[in-house]
Structure 1
Amino acid sequence: MFNNFKNRFISAIAPDLPPLPSSEREHQRGALRLGSGQQMPDKFPYARPPFLQLLTADELRASADHNVRPIIVPRDINLLPWGTGYAECVNSGKSEWNEDQASFSRQVLSDPEHNHPDLPYTYFGIFDGHAGYGAALAASHQFHHILHEKLVDCIELLLPRDADSENGKLQLNATFPHPIYFQRRVSKDDLIIGALESAFFHMDSLIAQDRDRYRDAGGCTACVSLFIDGKMYVANAGDSRAVLCQRRAGSGTSAGVTPSTTTEPNKIEPDPVDAAHSYPTAYSADHTPETERERLLNVARLKPHLMGKQYVAMEYAKRPHIKDMGQRILCRQGTMKGWTYKTLTRDDLRMPVVNGEGKRSRLLGTLGVTRGFGDHDLLAINTGIQIKPFLTPHPDVRQRDLSQVVSILDEHNEDGDYGILVMATDGLWDVSENDAVARTVFQTLSRYPKEKHRYTMVAQELVARARGKINDSGHWRLADSKAAATVDDISVIVIPVHQYYKEHIEWTHNYTRELEQRRRKAAEANMAQEAVNVLNGIIAEEAHVVEEQPYPHPQHQQQQQVVVQVEQVPALLRQEQEEQEQRAQLEPEETLVVELSDETPVQAHLETINHTMQKVQLDANVPEETPEKTTATSNKQRNNRKGKGNRQ
C-alpha cells in the first residue's frame, strides 16, 4: 500500500512517466529529498548476514531468486556459537531483496579496575524490514554496539560480587545492591532489562538522525535475545516471535520418533507419545494493530490532534455508513472492554484508527505493525497523517533464570528441559503454529542425535515447511495441507539454550577458582604486611628504650643484651670506654659525676651510654642472687670501705 501511495505521489509530479520499479522509486525518492539530481547514499550497502559468507554480487543475486527461493544456511557452522542453527529464504516477489536481517555478537564486560574477572555475554538479533531494507540492515550492524554501551554504563553493578556466608563458603551474586546506594531496591534483572529497553529507543533515534544524510531506511521489527549471567532475556518489538520449544521426558523412544514399518525404509513417522510431550512457551508477544488496539485507541483519545480530523478513536461492531446516520450503533472507545450504544453522527463516519482484524488489521489503514524501528517519514495512505506518533520502539522483555531448571542427567533430556529457542520473522509464524514448530524441532533433532549441525538442520526444516513447494501454476503451497504457503521473507535462528548454560557453569567454576586464588594472595600479602609492621614496631621500641633508659633495670638484662648487640660503638671511643670503666672502679661515684659535668654534653652522653653498656655486660655475667645475699654483700663492701678510710 505504501508503494501505491508513492506511485500516486510521483504520478502527480510527472503524470506522463511510466511507473517505476520498486528500486528505482527508492532512488527517485532520494533524489527528490535532496532537491537535486544527486542520490542520497545508503548508510550500509546491501548484504546478507556476515556468517552466511555470501561475499560476491553473484551469490547475493542467487540468494534473491524469487522463482527458486533457495534456502540459505551458513557454510561454516562454527561461526555461530554452541552450534546454533540459522536458515533463510527470500520472498516470492514481494520485494526485490530479502528485507530480513540477522546478527549475533559475543562480548565481555571487563572491570576497569581488574578486581573481577570478565563477564561474558552472547546476543542474537533478527530484524524484519518493511518499506525497504535500510532499517533492518542498520539495526543488524549497530544495535549490538549500542546494547554493549548500555551494559557498560552499569558495569560496576552487573559484575558478580562475592560475600562470605555463615559457613565461610563462597557465594556468588550476593545481595544487590547495598542499601546505602539506593532508596529503592534494584535487581540485576532490572538493570539488564533497562539496558535492552534503552538500547531500543537509542537505535530508533539513531535511524531518525540519519534521515537527512542517507536514503530513507524505512522501518523494521526487532526481536533479540541476550544470554548473560546464567539467564536468558528476550526483547521483542513487532510481529517477529521467539518461542521456547521444550519436551517432557516420557515413555517414548529416546530418539523421539519410531521408524516406519512400511516399504520405505528412510521414511520416519513421528511418535505420537513423544509428540504429546513437546510443548512451546511464547517468550514474546506480537505487536499488531489487533493486539495493541487498546493502546492505540487510548493514544488517539488523549491526543486527538494526531488524527488530524481524519480518523476517529472508536471501534464499531459494524462499519457505519451514511445511511445509518441518526441510528444507534454498538461501539467502544479507548480502553473500554465492553460495548455500548451511541447515536451515529457525522464524525463517526471517519476512518477508525484501527481497522480490520487479525493479520489484516492496519494502523491508520496503512501499517500492519505497531512497534519497531524507523518509519519516521511514513505517512498514512490517502490522508497524509504521520504514523510515527502511534508507533513505539518500546520492547516487551521477558527473562528466564536457567539456574532454576531441573534436569536429570540419566534422562538425557537437556534440550527438552532447558529448551530450544526459535526466533523467526513473521514469514514463519504466518503459516506455522507454535505447537507445530515445537514438534518439528524435536522430530528433526531425533534424526540427528549426535551430529554437530543438528540445529542447522532444524532451522532448515522449519524454513522448508513454511516456504512449501511451488506448483504448476507458480503458486507456493504447503506440502502437508496444500494450503497457501508464505510469500514473505523467512529467517529462523535456532538456539540450544543448554549449550549456553554449560558454558556459563564452566565460567562460574573458573571465576570461583580465580577469586579464591585472589583471596589467598591477598591474605598472604596482609599477613606479610602485618609481620613487617610488627617488626618495625619492635625495632622502634628498642631504639626508644636505648635512648630514654640508659640505666637498665636488672630484670631486663636479657633484653638489654640484644640492644647492646644491635648498637655499634665507635672504635675510637672503645679505648676511652675501658679507661673510664677502670677509673670508675677505683674512684667514688661523685668523681664520675664531676668529670662528666666538665665535659661537653655530647661526650657526657656517649660516656653515659658506654658506661650503661659495660654495666649491662658485667651484670649479665654475674649470677642472679637472692635479696638476702645481695644485702649482705652490700653491707660487707660498705664496712670494707669504712675500714680503708680509717686506716688512711
Structure 2
Amino acid sequence: MHFWGVFDGHAGSGAALMASKLLHRLIRDRLCEVAHLIENQSSPPPICLAKNGSPYQADQKKGACLDAEDQDACADRFHMEKVVSLESLVMGIIENAFKQMDDLIEKEKASYSISGGCCALTAVHLMGKLYVANAGDSRAIIVRNDEVIPMSNEFTPESERQRLQYLGFLKPELLGNEFTHIEFPRRIQHKELGKKMLFRDHTMTGWAYKTIVEDDLKFPLIYGEGKKARVMATIGVTRGLGDHDLKVYNSNIHIKPFLSCCPEVKVYNISEHKHGSDDVIIMGTDGLWDVTSDREVADAVTTFLSRCEPNDPMRYTLAAQDLLMRSRGVLKERGWRLPNDRLGSGDDITVFVIPINGSNSPPLERQ
C-alpha cells in the first residue's frame, strides 16, 4: 500500500497533526484484518457475508460458497448473503478509518490540547487502484494524456445545503432558537412580516415564494455565497476531522452536529489505462484551487514536466513547487498578485504531484 494525505487545519494545528500521524495507521490496521481475503490475488473473487456477518469468498464460476462447513445450507444462504466486492470493502475501510480518526481526536483533545479541526484529503494505492477520499474543500485531479479527471468534490455550505437544512428541519433544537433552516436570498427585516419572499428548504433545488412569519426573522443556517458562505456564520467547510468544541460566537450552540467526518471515496483503476511519465495525480488544499482551475493546474504541470529531464528524480517535487509559487503570485505594493494582476492566494497551500508510472515500473514512487 502507498498512502498520501493532505490535512488542512483551521482554528489550530492539533487535529491536522494528529490525523497526519495516525490516519494511515488506522487504514493499514483495518486492511490487515482482511489481508487473508486479498493476499496474493491479483483479481480476488467477491466476498460474501454469511449469516453471522463474517466474510468468506465465493466461487465466481460455480456460484458456490468456498466454506467447507455447512455446505448443505448453501442454498439457504443464497437468500441471506450479500456479495461485496474488494473495491467496496476497501472503500468502507477508508470511510470507517475517517470516523475512527474523528473519534480519537475527540477522545484525546483534552489530554493533548488538540484544537480546531482539519479538512482531510487522502490517496491510497492498493492492488492497481487509487482510492481518493475527501472530507473538506481540498481537491485532487488526475492528469492523463492531457485529460483532466476530477477525483474529488468540495464539501462546503453551498454544496451540502440540503443535507444541513434537512438536519435543521429534523432537529430544530440544534438551531438553538437563533437560526432558521430555511434559506432566503437576503436577510429578512421585521417590516417584511406578512409579505412574500423567495425561499428554499431541504426539499428544493429551485426557489419559490412564501409568506414571511416571525420564525423567518432568525439568522439563516447557511448564509453567504461562494468562499464567504458559512454554517451558522462560523465555518466555511462542512466535512472534516475535529471541531468538536466549535460553537457559534458568544453562544452555547454547538456546530459539530452539522459537520460530517465521512469522506467521499472515488476509485481510479490504474491498470485499465496506459500512463506516461507525465501522467500524475495532483492533490492540493483550497489555497491552490481558489485561484487556479483544474485545467490551468493540469497545463502548468504538463508544461513544467515537459521541460525537465525525464530521469530527474526531483521533477515532480519541482512541479509541485512551481504550482505553489504560481498560486501565491508576486508580492507587489498592493499585495500578492498573479500575472494578470488578480489577487494571489492568501491561504496556506500544500501540493502533491505524484506520478502514475504504469505497470512497467514501480507505481507512484516519487512525489
TM-score, normalization by structure 1 = 0.50
> Separation in 1 of the partners of 2:44 and 2:238?
40
Q: Give 1:279 shift.
A: 3.2
> Separation in 1 of the partners of 2:306 and 2:251?
54
Which position in structure 2 is the counterpart of 1:484? 343
Which position in structure 2 is the counterpart of 1:338? 206
Q: Deviations over 1:10-62 (max 9, x none)?
A: xxxxxxxxxxxxxxxxxxxxxxxxxxxxxxxxxxxxxxxxxxxxxxxxxxxxx
Q: Give 1:384 shift.
A: 3.1
Which position in structure 1 is the counterpart of 2:50? none
Superposed counterparts of 1:366-381, under 5 Å: 366-381=234-249
Q: Give 1:455 shift.
A: 0.7
**2:197 aligned with 1:299, yes or no?**
no
Q: Deviations over 1:516-553 (max 9, x none)?
A: xxxxxxxxxxxxxxxxxxxxxxxxxxxxxxxxxxxxxx
> Separation in 1 of the partners of 2:186 and 2:360?
52
> Separation in 2 of the partners of 1:501 and 1:154?
28
Kept after mapping to 1: 8 A contact 2:187/2:219: no
**Match for residue 135 of structure 2 among 237, 253, 256:** 237
Superposed counterparts of 1:209-220, under 5 Å: 209-220=107-118
Q: Deviations over 1:298-338 (max 9, x none)?
A: 11111111111111110113321111111011111113122
Which position in structure 1 is the counterpart of 2:155? 287
Kept after mapping to 1: 8 A contact 2:105/2:114: no
Which position in structure 2 is the counterpart of 1:194? 92
Q: Deviations over 1:133-182 (max 9, x none)?
A: 11101111111111111111221222244xxxxxxxxxx42432315367
Kept after mapping to 2: 8 A contact 1:280/1:434: yes
> Separation in 2 of the partners of 1:373 and 1:500?
35
Secondary structure of 2:27's partner?
helix
Kept after mapping to 1: 8 A contact 2:355/2:363: no
Kindly report structure 1 stretches of 4+ aligned residues shifted beyond 4 Å. Answer: none
Kept after mapping to 2: 8 A contact 1:414/1:498: yes
Which position in structure 1 is the counterpart of 2:286? 426
> Separation in 2 of the partners of 1:402 and 1:327?
57
Secondary structure of 1:221's partner?
strand
> Separation in 1 of the partners of 2:24 and 2:240?
16
> Separation in 2 of the partners of 1:356 and 1:504?
43
Which position in structure 1 is the counterpart of 2:46? 176
> Separation in 2 of the partners of 1:481 and 1:303?
47
> Separation in 2 of the partners of 1:300 and 1:496?
43
Superposed counterparts of 1:259-278, under 5 Å: 278=146
Which position in structure 2 is the counterpart of 1:356? 224
Which position in structure 2 is the counterpart of 1:327? 195
Secondary structure of 1:389's partner?
helix
Q: Per the alignment, do residues 184 and 498 of structure 1 end up closer, same or farther by CA in structure 2, a change over 3 Å counting? A: same
Q: Give 1:191 shift.
A: 0.9
TM-score, normalization by structure 2 = 0.87
Q: Per the alignment, do residues 174 and 219 of structure 1 end up closer, same or farther by CA in structure 2, a change over 3 Å counting? A: closer
Q: Give 1:449 shift.
A: 3.5
**Match for residue 251 of structure 2 among 374, 383, 388:** 383
Kept after mapping to 1: 8 A contact 2:152/2:264: yes
**2:329 aligned with 1:468, yes or no?**
yes
> Separation in 2 of the partners of 1:186 and 1:502?
31
**2:34 aligned with 1:154, yes or no?**
yes
Kept after mapping to 1: 8 A contact 2:357/2:363: no
> Separation in 2 of the partners of 1:448 and 1:372?
36
Secondary structure of 1:315's partner?
coil
Which position in structure 1 is the counterpart of 2:316? 455
**Match for residue 435 of structure 1 among 295, 300, 304:** 295
Q: Per the alignment, do residues 303 and 345 of structure 1 end up closer, same or farther by CA in structure 2, a change over 3 Å counting? A: same
**2:10 aligned with 1:130, yes or no?**
yes
Secondary structure of 1:458's partner?
helix
- Structure with greater Cα Rg: 1
- For structure 2, the residue ranges without an aligned partner over 5 or more in a row are 48-57, 59-63, 68-79
Secondary structure of 2:84's partner?
coil
> Separation in 1 of the partners of 2:363 and 2:345?
38
> Separation in 2 of the partners of 1:462 and 1:421?
13
Secondary structure of 1:314's partner?
coil
Q: Per the alignment, do residues 140 and 433 of structure 1 end up closer, same or farther by CA in structure 2, a change over 3 Å counting? A: same
Identity score, percent: 40
Considering fraction of residues, name the structure with more strand.
2
Considering fraction of residues, name the structure with more helix.
1
> Separation in 2 of the partners of 1:290 and 1:501?
43
Kept after mapping to 1: 8 A contact 2:7/2:120: yes
Q: Give 1:241 shift.
A: 0.6
Kept after mapping to 1: 8 A contact 2:230/2:236: yes
Secondary structure of 1:329's partner?
strand
Kept after mapping to 2: 8 A contact 1:246/1:438: no
